[in-house]
Amino acid sequence: MNLKPLAAGIGLAALALAAARADDVKLGYINKMGEHPWFVAEVAGAKAEAKKLGAAISTQDVQFNADLTLTTFDTMVGDGVKGIAIVVPDRALGPVVAEKAAKANIKLIAVDDDIYDAKKKMLPYIGMNATNIGRQVGAEDAALYKTMGWDKLQDVRLASIEDRKADTCMQRNRGAEAAFLEAVPGFDKSHIIRIPYDNTMNGSIDAVTTTLTAHPEAQHWIFYSCNDDGVLGAVRATENSGMKPDQVIGIGIDGSRACDAFGSGNPTGFRGTMWIDSGKEGATAVALLVKSIQDNTPLPPITYVSPDLITPANFAEFKGRICHK
């Protein structure tokens, strides 16, 4: 009996079965701010990875709308998705989406912002280590503060631009402040200014403009925030008020505004940003979902991504990857 055709047939059948399993995987991807460069890249990475793996994917920008988030979630479940990656517009939605996913028996992974179920258990998460990336920002701010000789000045203010609705953002701010004060233990804590904003650049410009007016005694400012928008918005506010770049130190997070800040080559108080490749983050979320669905195994509890510090000095190395969007 010639077993070769039989073996070949079995092999083709196995490949066909594997392909069918991949083709059967249908995913949903919900993000909170689809027009922002960060999420444009993130969703593009998710779609590219889904195509590579042979999975179907539907995406939805919910524009910080909690009701639309829940409606979209229900629609995706009704369409037969087996897994959803979600960037929640409000972390309070965690218990609700966790319950919906459990009832529908689908995989759920949180992206960018960690969320918890009703029992305070963290759901599978992919993103940056919020506290650690904040600490890297604070350490860089402190290094520039010393290098530029600001430790000899009395008119320096340290500004924490805060999205107080998002705990992930506040973790970044707390990490930045802690690292800065560890590096500069003699800094006067009464010179720390806390500025609430709405997580957008325009919101930061408005909030910081008001703060600058309220503190005319401050002639040198150090900014840190949840993202590039918070910091670049603050820098724009100082520019609008007539301050020079050498009066400002700002380090962002996410890299989404590096091209805006550094593309012209002009001096800027936006000194750098901790860049995370959000496209890779979206792709990894999809890859983790597909593997978990196909293998019928739990998602890893936490998957962290590491940042690169982009500054005017090394911007050319990253420009090709981040300025094509």
Does the domain at 4-123+278-306 match CATH 3.40.50.2300? Answer given as yes
Q: Which amino acid is at 48?
A: A
The pairing of strands 270-275 and 308-310 is: antiparallel
d(CA 168, CA 163): 9
> What does the block give as tokens for 7?
């073996």
pLDDT classification of 23: cutoffs 50, 70, 90: low
Q: Which has the minimum average pLDDT: 13-22, 73-82, 273-282, 283-292?
A: 13-22
* pLDDT value of residue 202: 97
* Average pLDDT, integer, range 130-142: 97
CA distances from 187 to 191, 206, 211, 224, 300 (A): 8, 27, 20, 16, 41
* pLDDT value of residue 22: 55
Query: Is the separation of the CB atoms in 235 and 270 below 8 Å?
Result: yes
Assigned CATH for 130-275: 3.40.50.2300
Whether residue 89 has pLDDT greater than 90: yes
pLDDT classification of 198: cutoffs 50, 70, 90: very high
* pLDDT value of residue 10: 42
DSSP string, 243-304: --GGGEEEEEEESTTHHHHHTT----SEEEEEE--HHHHHHHHHHHHHHHHHHT-PPPSEEE
Kindly give the interhelix angle for 278-295 and 37-53, rounded to the nearest 10 degrees. Answer: 40
How do the domains of the chain map onto residue ranges?
Answer: 4-123+278-306, 130-275
Whether residue 2 has pLDDT greater than 50: no
d(CA 69, CA 84): 12
Whether residue 19 has pLDDT greater than 80: no
Query: Is the separation of the CB atoms in 272 and 251 below 8 Å?
Result: yes
Q: Do the domains 130-275 and 4-123+278-306 match in fold?
A: yes
Whether residue 65 has pLDDT greater than 80: yes
Report which of residues 229 and 166 the model is more confident about: 229
